Copies of this chain bind each other. A is one copy, B any other.
Amino acid sequence: MISFTCDYSEGAHPKILERLAATNLEQLPGYGMDPYSESAKARIRAACGTPNAEIFFLVGGTQTNSTIIAAMLRDYEGVVSPETGHIGVHEAGAVEYTGHKVLTIPSHHGKIDPAELEAYLTVATTDPNYEHMVFPGMVYLSFPTEYGTLYSKAELQEIRRISTRFGLPLMIDGARLGYGLASPACDLTLPELAGLCDVFYIGGTKVGCLCGEAVVFPRGNAPKHFYTITKQHGAMLAKGRLLGIQFDTLFTDNLYFEISRHAIDMAMRLKALLLDKGCTLFIDSPTNQQFIIMENSRLEEFGRHVAYDPWDRIDADHTAIRLATSWATAPEHLEELGKWL
């Protein structure tokens, strides 16, 4: 059986495994103080065009989100997120566990509408009772979103203008960042994205690593003692080399971008295949997550041959499902899928 369930079905890109093996018996300092972590940071700074960036390697996405958010907010502040934001839905309340409210605004296929954001922040800061309410303390968005969609550069600039107007840092959840940047629909570069936010992370788990997310504070603007904060959150690896070596490899010879592009190529071929087979798109996604609407009557048989992610109930007879490609998707996977559509 073939799986299009998600983009973390396989292990790591073979070059990463090779590098882990090649360096395995080197005795290295722990907790991210090893030279591979340093080298990875330098390469990421170069890729982002942010020579003063402070970079930290954390282990997984939920952990990274809650650690960053807790570090950037004061106790009385919450994080503004579209209501479909990963932090408010599928992270088991990790943000609230650190004491902070997720302040939701409407989601448009995963995206914030800048005008709605501005209206929300205007009310939140002028309400006669605002001192009895949670203060918006930062803005969170995902690039690409949980629905595979992308913000245009103009949209990000507008969100940036608004968050700056209200004095709020802007965070970009880049769990699938590579797949966003590699999309033909993407009109910004990594340095441009880095310049438009106050913190973002470069997802490794879903883009070729065994685990790991590289948190980037682009202008040396990390919260004081963020290193200790990661320890307190249980987000610091003793063998930091595991993260350092992976990201060092990913950012050598453009590997991160190449494997992302491969995933997007596969996704575009997947979309063409789906349309060719007469499938109805649920969302016209430009990234590695593709969504179709399928008759419930077909799901059982289809599911016997293809693992997929059930996404949303459309009506009594139809379900939206997700099919995702990744760095590891091969043309044969698509061929096999084609048999069962």
Residues of A near any B CB (own CB < 8 A): 2-3, 5-6, 8-12, 14, 17, 20-21, 23-31, 59-64, 66-67, 70-71, 74-76, 78, 89-94, 96-102, 128-129, 131-135, 205-206, 210-211, 224-225, 227-229, 231-239, 241-242, 307, 310, 328
Contacts and interface: CB of A to CB of B under 8 A. Distances in A.
B225 A76 contact: yes
B93 A100 contact: yes
22 contacts: A8-B239, A10-B25, A10-B27, A10-B28, A11-B239, A21-B21, A60-B236, A62-B236, A67-B234, A74-B224, A74-B225, A75-B97, A75-B229, A76-B232, A91-B232, A92-B133, A93-B101, A101-B101, A131-B228, A205-B239, A210-B239, A234-B234
A236 B76 CA distance: 14
Given A62-B236, A76-B229, A96 B92 contact: no
Contacts of A75: 70-71, 97, 229, 232
Per CB-CB distance, the 9 closest pairs between chain A and chain B, nearest first, are A63-B234, A11-B24, A93-B134, A92-B231, A92-B232, A9-B27, A3-B27, A96-B101, A93-B101
Given A17-B17, A27-B307, A211-B238, A232 B94 contact: yes
Q: Decide if the interface of chain A is mainly helix, strand, loop or mixed.
A: loop
A97 B90 CA distance: 20
A328 B93 contact: no
Contacts of A70: 75
Contacts of A133: 89-90, 92-93
B97 A129 contact: no
B231 A61 contact: no
A6 B24 contact: no
Contacts of A60: 59, 234, 236-238
Given A11-B241, A205-B238, A134 B310 contact: no
Given A20-B17, A242-B210, A132 B91 contact: yes
A17 B78 CA distance: 41
A20 B218 CA distance: 34
Given A2-B27, A59-B59, A131-B227, A234 B66 contact: yes
Contact of A62 (B99, B134, B231): B231
Nearest to A78: B93
Given A96-B96, A237-B60, A132 B90 contact: yes
Contacts of A63: 233-235
Contacts of A132: 31, 90-92, 228, 231
A312 to B, nearest CB: 11
Contact of A128 (B71, B231, B242, B310): B310
Nearest to A8: B238
A26 B21 CA distance: 19
